[in-house]
Amino acid sequence: MESQSLVAFDLLILAWFAYLGGAVGSFSNVVACRLPMGESIIWPGSRCPRCLTPIRWHDNVPILGWFLIRGRCRACQTPVPARYVWVEILFAGMFDVFYWTDIRMSGGRIPLEFLIHPSVSALTLFTQHVLLMSSLMIMALIRADRLPVPTSFITSVAFGLIVLRLATGVGWASFIDTTLGFVSGLLAILAVDALLERTPFARWSRWEVGRADLSGLFLVGIALGTRILLLVIFLMLIMAVTLTLIQKQRYLAWGLAFITFVSIILSVT
């Protein structure tokens, strides 16, 4: 194949993964809004939170939809927060990055390699990474609304991550690695909690550790294993101090998502 058509193929697939990411981001917005309220995340479909008018399918296109309706509900003119479109853009970018690092780089030099010779391990790794990051971002959104993250959400994601992690490797080594990640996730929660809540450092840093932050670390441990978890905790402590110094603690949940993202990229490239 000529190099020009290779580039065209690459762009096409990147656009498709960006679209997929935008759609997952759109769904994550819905999950973050409805989950803390105990509402169903599947039914009813997307609708205006104020006048309950269903959103038309052609306005529900990820990212573009928000611009089509000019950031307002078509029926009642209530502004749709820009946060929705920002989340969709973040998800679109994230899907592209993980497609590139987990699938494209691992497979081969041909853009459609993963369709011709599907690599189960590459696809599983991709799914694992997007599940972890999507969950961390949903938790950050819920935290931004100052609402609690339901335990059922954490346990469901944890279960999914354990299954995916066992699937990425074969045999006992993978099982032991998953178990260690699981245990170190738990230990990390206890250690960080003790460090930040029950020591003088706690009063100095005034870091209000939410259960969501600790659950986030737990999920990181399960998904990525002990080594990366320690890196994430180390970076998170530095960030917690920095955010405290500049009085921006409320960005901690987003900080965990960002640090985890960077740590994954560092570990796979």
Residues near Zn ion, by CB under 5 A? 48, 50-51, 73, 75-76, 78
Question: Are 218 and 157 contacting, i.e. CB atoms less than 8 angstroms apart?
Answer: no
Smallest separation (angstroms) from Zn ion to the CB of 149: 27
Residue closer to Zn ion (CB basis): 54 or 108: 54
Residue closer to Zn ion (CB basis): 6 or 30: 30
Smallest separation (angstroms) from Zn ion to the CB of 146: 24
- What is the C-alpha to C-alpha distance for residues 87 and 94, in angstroms, rounded to an integer? 10
Residue closer to Zn ion (CB basis): 48 or 222: 48
Smallest separation (angstroms) from Zn ion to the CB of 43: 19
Smallest separation (angstroms) from Zn ion to the CB of 79: 10
User: CA 35 from chain center: how many Å?
Assistant: 16
Smallest separation (angstroms) from Zn ion to the CB of 142: 23
- What is the C-alpha to C-alpha distance for residues 41 and 26, in angstroms, rounded to an integer? 12
Instruction: Phi first, then psi: give them for residue 73, nearest 5 degrees.
Output: -65, 135
Report the amino acid identity of residue 133.
M
- What is the C-alpha to C-alpha distance for residues 259 and 232, in angstroms, rounded to an integer? 6
Smallest separation (angstroms) from Zn ion to the CB of 52: 7
Smallest separation (angstroms) from Zn ion to the CB of 48: 3
- What is the C-alpha to C-alpha distance for residues 1 and 121, in angstroms, rounded to an integer? 26
Peptide bond between residue 44 and the one before it cis (omega within 30 degrees of 0) = yes
Residue closer to Zn ion (CB basis): 50 or 250: 50
* DSSP tag of 109: S
* Residue 6 backbone zone (phi > 0: left; psi -120 to 50: alpha; other: beta): alpha
Residue closer to Zn ion (CB basis): 59 or 177: 59
Residue closer to Zn ion (CB basis): 26 or 101: 26
Question: Are 258 and 174 contacting, i.e. CB atoms less than 8 angstroms apart?
Answer: no
Residue closer to Zn ion (CB basis): 78 or 152: 78
| Maximal CA-CA distance, the chain | 63
Q: Is the dihedral of CA 52, 57, 61, 64 positive or negative?
A: negative
